[in-house]
Structure 1
């Protein structure tokens, strides 16, 4: 980079300048530049190196792009930060990899038991029954063998199930006489005894009562998640389900971090519907003390309409290919869903409803349709995941201005199993139908649903462009979008989902100076390489908040 003099006077000098590379603005015209400047956290100039260098003063922080590419900071439109942080800190990694069998997971539980005192709870995350050689969920008998006195909870990768041992069942009072809760299921053996597998709201009977979920402990989990987001170029996250893991303590954890100035990732929160005061009576109220700012705002309310396809609890109009008589389940009655949507809309809340199966999506659209035609107020209600949405449903979404956040990484992580096991080839090739949505003018964001799948947005962009499954097949190539559309799904279009497109998501004068610096230009490389590009720096409000550690020096 040319050595520019620091000649700008204090009253016009930038606080931050990045120059010497490519700047993808992702503005409406798709303009490119070489440099960008910011003052007081907002972008003040975009242009050539020489023009922007005129704003460098004695105290300006200068980031040399060195030929790299700066893009808007990624906006993750559906994540679970507290849940994510808890998985990062958990004593048991139950995922596959590294585990091939239930026995491998049990060995990890046994080690955790050895490391802890009697009676201490042990948590594990990410087990996936469809990737285990045993082809089944673990059972309480598997866990009892190594943990007779320590309660154990293993949470499924989807977040919709958990497996617990006998000590955990006793601790929360679940036994053969316990009825299935509404919207949930307690798996039982031939004698009617719980097997340890709990689905949907039954899983919440345990996970909502676990120790280790105080506001302080949840704040520690949020810090871990925050560090991972920044390392992946993510500057804003939509937390779609505050309270789902730790109840009201999650909101308290955010409040504590906010007071302490520890929120580095910008959070737009969607409070789980069960925590909204007065909602059951049709008079929802906002919690006290939630003044929005650029770091944190309660933007809306999250409702979970159905379960997951891979757990066979996503509510489908046609049965599962592997079990034609099964259609999944609604976790909330359609009439109740409609009433809650209407009450929240009337109270000015944005509504985000989890809908995986097309039958559930029908119920969600019905609820939104009853609100009447779009009234120009920018209500911007959403469907989360929207995985098996049909063409006729996309028509209805467009007619009622319903937005979508697509779980695009399903294509890679579950595409093969959706095709061969759960949905069959015709329905599977249409999961996350981005081209169909785009052709109708539907605004959509893309997401990873972390911790369900790994967080890197570059992987999600690659999924949207290539639609390659884990086994290397291309699933529904007609639904693959170009690189710029995929980038927009993780930036400006994701910002639109929270009504923030005038604040972030593109690099334009007056917007927040939030950037991700990539090793190369994703629009100029072979699409197969997008997934392997590196995030090398993350900038929030004109401050470098994360940078790639330097490579260790090689011994001479």
Structure 2
């Protein structure tokens, strides 16, 4: 495909959805020096590579993921498809037997909701690993199962102190730790003790993640990362030879904020730091998302407030983030946390690009609050809805299941829904995310409040136009003159697909006017 390696080339005879609100359709497009020079509404005078009617959209954008962690997950034990306790034990044992003697075993992805009955694992499941330290993160990364070897290494405070920090050690009926650490117990006490993978493996993780995303049509991401990785791995291994566009959100959040180091990082068409993140609560699966009313299966538990919200310093954090020129990005899953997030950012101007991440439980009180501020941005994950729908009735009770990410209701208010994955918590595949949004089915394929399903065009906007806006990437997301030439070619028209029974796929990914994945027709057309 020499034609698309040139500075000036074009596509013709295509069905192009541009994402532009006033000019959504075109048939041809000319690219010059990596940018879009023109978009043709009709094919009468078009020339270039003949796409033979193939469907084209802007490159897909994931508005919320963990890029380095996702790349590392492709190189470590993945338990996301484990369907029984016995299989869990066997997979961990096989991994143990394959590792060097001095290496920690780290796994991710398990969920007790994938086996029946949904028994929560304990450290006895890891007993076959001997004296090797073992850490198995739950799919939400808010709980971790560790073996006795790791528990002996940790200097955990007493339960009361840990609770004040927003953490919890799960104990059995005799008061003995089960090996399950939740929230701050896992983040602040366990995570710092886990040895990092060797740098060459972590650098490979960035390369692997880039290739994986490009193969799925993802041309840009908004990723949640720590200072140490942004200044190290990303500066050395991504910014020097980027293959995918990246908007980074800083996870370091201790007040007062130290962000002077961000001036060392590039800010260009490929990479920029755009926001800072705070965690207001936990997750539904771990029963730590903060709710206005207790969990149906745990009547004494409304979940947990975290960090700045717990310390009553959320407004202070927001003020500091905005004063430093960054966007406040807030993890809020339960309705109490979402309400706190709305109140914290409701008076900010739109150009601050503040976002509420996840916003999974939106009860009528939240819908009412959003109706008064429909210009807010939510960054949500359709695959989380599909996953959590499986146990929503148990956790929330039948009367609240309809409040689990009610996409159609919230979108109907005018609220902007940027779509992402939260990879590696769930699959990064945006077409799987679109399917979840369009069909409103759970991960088992069962209908779940299908009145909240959205249309194909709205799903596309969530993964292009609105994701670009949320990520502060205004040079992509729409196919129009002046923006960068990032687009994907589909194997079929997604508007013509019965998403309940089939899914389209990406056959080519173009970034900055160059083919990054797949193939385009070799045939040239000239009028």
- TM-score norm. by structure 2 comes to 0.90
**1:393 to 1:176, Cα distance in 2 relative to 1, 3 A:** closer
| 3-state DSSP of counterpart to 1:351 | strand
Distance in 2 between the 1:500 and 1:398 partners? 27
Q: 1:153 aligns with which of 122, 132, 135?
A: 135
Counterpart residue number, 2:72: 86
Once the two structures are TM-superposed, the CA of residue 220 in structure 1 deviates from its matched residue by 1.9
Counterpart residue number, 1:28: 21
Counterpart residue number, 1:541: 512
**1:283 to 1:366, Cα distance in 2 relative to 1, 3 A:** farther
1:332 and 2:332 aligned: no
Once the two structures are TM-superposed, the CA of residue 389 in structure 1 deviates from its matched residue by 2.1
Counterpart residue number, 1:254: 234
Alignment: residue pair count: 511
Q: 1:65 aligns with which of 37, 51, 61?
A: 51
Deviates more, 1:32-41 or 1:225-234: 32-41
| 3-state DSSP of counterpart to 1:202 | helix
| 3-state DSSP of counterpart to 2:27 | strand
Higher helix share: 2
Counterpart residue number, 2:326: 349
Counterpart residue number, 2:524: none
List aligned pairs for 1:91-490, cutoff 5 A.
92-95=77-80, 97=81, 99-133=82-116, 135-144=118-127, 146-174=128-156, 180=162, 182-204=165-187, 205-213=189-197, 216-239=200-223, 241-243=224-226, 248-261=228-241, 263-274=242-253, 280-281=255-256, 285=260, 287-334=262-309, 335-369=312-346, 372=347, 374-375=348-349, 378-397=351-370, 399-400=372-373, 401-418=375-392, 420-490=393-463
| 3-state DSSP of counterpart to 2:229 | helix
Counterpart residue number, 1:59: none
Once the two structures are TM-superposed, the CA of residue 272 in structure 1 deviates from its matched residue by 0.7
Once the two structures are TM-superposed, the CA of residue 23 in structure 1 deviates from its matched residue by 1.2
Distance in 2 between the 1:532 and 1:494 partners? 21
Counterpart residue number, 1:74: 60
Counterpart residue number, 1:505: 477
RMSD between aligned alpha carbons?
2.5
Distance in 2 between the 1:264 and 1:32 partners? 28
Residue segments in structure 2 that go unaligned for 5+ positions in a row? 522-527
Deviates more, 1:302-311 or 1:340-349: 340-349
Distance in 1 between the 2:131 and 2:158 partners? 20
| 3-state DSSP of counterpart to 1:532 | coil
1:51 and 2:39 aligned: no
Distance in 2 between the 1:70 and 1:456 partners? 18
**1:117 to 1:477, Cα distance in 2 relative to 1, 3 A:** closer
Deviates more, 1:218-227 or 1:149-158: 218-227
Distance in 2 between the 1:396 and 1:483 partners? 27
Once the two structures are TM-superposed, the CA of residue 131 in structure 1 deviates from its matched residue by 1.4
Asked which structure has the greater RCO (Cα within 8 Å, sep 6+), the reply is 2
Is the CA contact 1:315–1:359 (under 8 Å) kept in the aligned structure 2?
A: yes
Distance in 2 between the 1:131 and 1:177 partners? 30
Once the two structures are TM-superposed, the CA of residue 319 in structure 1 deviates from its matched residue by 1.1
- TM-score norm. by structure 1 comes to 0.86
Once the two structures are TM-superposed, the CA of residue 397 in structure 1 deviates from its matched residue by 4.0
Map Cα deviations across residues 406-427 of structure 1 (whole Å, 9 max, x no partner): 1211232221311x21112332
Distance in 2 between the 1:355 and 1:210 partners? 26
Deviates more, 1:438-447 or 1:79-88: 438-447
Distance in 1 between the 2:238 and 2:107 partners? 29
Is the CA contact 1:176–1:194 (under 8 Å) kept in the aligned structure 2?
A: no
Once the two structures are TM-superposed, the CA of residue 323 in structure 1 deviates from its matched residue by 1.6
Map Cα deviations across residues 54-90 of structure 1 (whole Å, 9 max, x no partner): xx5xxxxx4x423321100001111111111111100
**1:282 to 1:109, Cα distance in 2 relative to 1, 3 A:** closer
Distance in 2 between the 1:165 and 1:539 partners? 45
Is the CA contact 2:7–2:34 (under 8 Å) kept in the aligned structure 1?
A: no
Distance in 2 between the 1:43 and 1:16 partners? 10
Once the two structures are TM-superposed, the CA of residue 472 in structure 1 deviates from its matched residue by 3.6
Is the CA contact 2:379–2:419 (under 8 Å) kept in the aligned structure 1?
A: yes
Counterpart residue number, 2:11: 18
Once the two structures are TM-superposed, the CA of residue 438 in structure 1 deviates from its matched residue by 2.2
Once the two structures are TM-superposed, the CA of residue 148 in structure 1 deviates from its matched residue by 1.6
Distance in 1 between the 2:414 and 2:386 partners? 25
Map Cα deviations across residues 96-139 of structure 1 (whole Å, 9 max, x no partner): x2x22222122122222222233321111111012123522221
Deviates more, 1:15-24 or 1:298-307: 15-24
**1:116 to 1:477, Cα distance in 2 relative to 1, 3 A:** closer
| 3-state DSSP of counterpart to 1:508 | coil
Distance in 2 between the 1:471 and 1:424 partners? 19
Residue segments in structure 1 that go unaligned for 5+ positions in a row? 1-5, 7-12, 57-61, 551-556
Distance in 1 between the 2:99 and 2:450 partners? 50
**1:178 to 1:440, Cα distance in 2 relative to 1, 3 A:** closer
**1:35 to 1:156, Cα distance in 2 relative to 1, 3 A:** same
Distance in 2 between the 1:249 and 1:212 partners? 11
Distance in 2 between the 1:154 and 1:162 partners? 6
**1:366 to 1:307, Cα distance in 2 relative to 1, 3 A:** same
Distance in 1 between the 2:8 and 2:500 partners? 37
